[in-house]
Amino acid sequence: MKISLEEKFREMGGKRPYVQRLFGRIAGIYDLMNRLMSLGLDRSWRKQAARYLALNTGETGLDLGTGTADLCIEVLRQSGPGTRMIGMDITPEMLDEGRKKLTRMGLQKSIELRIGDAEHIDLPDNSVDGCCSAFMVRNLSDIRQGFREMLRVVRPGSRVVCLEISHPPGKIFGALFYFYFYRLAPLFGTIIGKAFEEYNYLPNSLTTFPKAPAVKAIMEEAGWMDVRYYYLNGGIVALHVGTKPDPNAA
């Protein structure tokens, strides 16, 4: 008998503990599987996300669901000297992999990785100069709460950038993508990663995730303004960008 994802969440005490345990189990193979399953495209997606965040020299950015810190690293690459990133994640094993990477790259002073929940961010109001996430929002129990928290912690006038897998709008390309995403990608994960459950969660987590226009509406409801989205590679992923209203702006 096939157990639904909702039943699995219930068995584990909720979506958050389920997601945390799942990423804990695949942390060691996460980067390799990302490269393989995205056919190497994930790097260019993060590059574009970092470009939209556009941190200025000396500013501090927040990357939620940072995992192994790839988006933090990309943001730093594109920022001036003295820029800092805080990477938060609920899964210690993912952060451990990230820390090893930062040590290898000599970036441990510019990027601080810490345990933290995107739905209850342990930072004061208006304390960071921009907030980003890659492939995290889909895993939240309450997406609205996540976007409200991001709005609370960023400084007025600064940006949020959300990179997430999406639903391609084109019918034929969409059908091809769904075949790949629902049939072939889990097979890669099962055979190469030896992680059947984990890489079956991947497509299932997209099924209930809203389409790009609906994500935009959720962000606007949460209080973000000038929200735009950009489809990358035919809509396999979408980049949502918004700005926190600044009451003092002219």
Ligand X SMILES: C[S@@+](CC[C@H](N)C(=O)[O-])C[C@H]1O[C@@H](n2cnc3c(N)ncnc32)[C@H](O)[C@@H]1O
Backbone φ, ψ for residue 79 (5° rounding): -115, 165
Give min distance, CB of 42 to ligand X, in A.
7
Q: Can you give the binding site for ligand X, defined by CB under 6 A?
A: 16, 19-20, 23, 34, 64-67, 70-71, 88-91, 94, 117-119, 134-136, 139-140
Using the structure block, give the residue that is written with the tokens 């980003």: 132
Binding residues for S-adenosyl-L-methionine: 68, 89, 117-118
Give min distance, CB of 171 to ligand X, in A.
27
Give min distance, CB of 243 to ligand X, in A.
22
**For 92-122, what is the HEC assignment?**
HHHHHHHHHHHHHHCCCCCEEEEECECCECC
Choice between 43 and 226, CB closer to ligand X: 43
Choice between 52 and 247, CB closer to ligand X: 52
Binding residues: 68, 89, 117-118
Q: Which residue is nearest to ligand X (CB)?
A: 67
124, HSE (Cβ side, Cα atoms, 13 Å): 2
Choice between 120 and 171, CB closer to ligand X: 120
Burial of 107 (0-12, 13-18, 19+ CB in 10 A): middle
Token digits of residue 230: 């950009």
Give min distance, CB of 59 to ligand X, in A.
20
Token digits of residue 214: 């609906």
Choice between 64 and 215, CB closer to ligand X: 64
Give min distance, CB of 64 to ligand X, in A.
6
d(CA 79, CA 120): 27
Closest CA to 137 of 219, 242, 193: 219
Q: Under 8 Å CB-to-CB from 29, ≥6 apart: which residues?
A: 193, 195
Token digits of residue 52: 């939209």
Choice between 91 and 110, CB closer to ligand X: 91
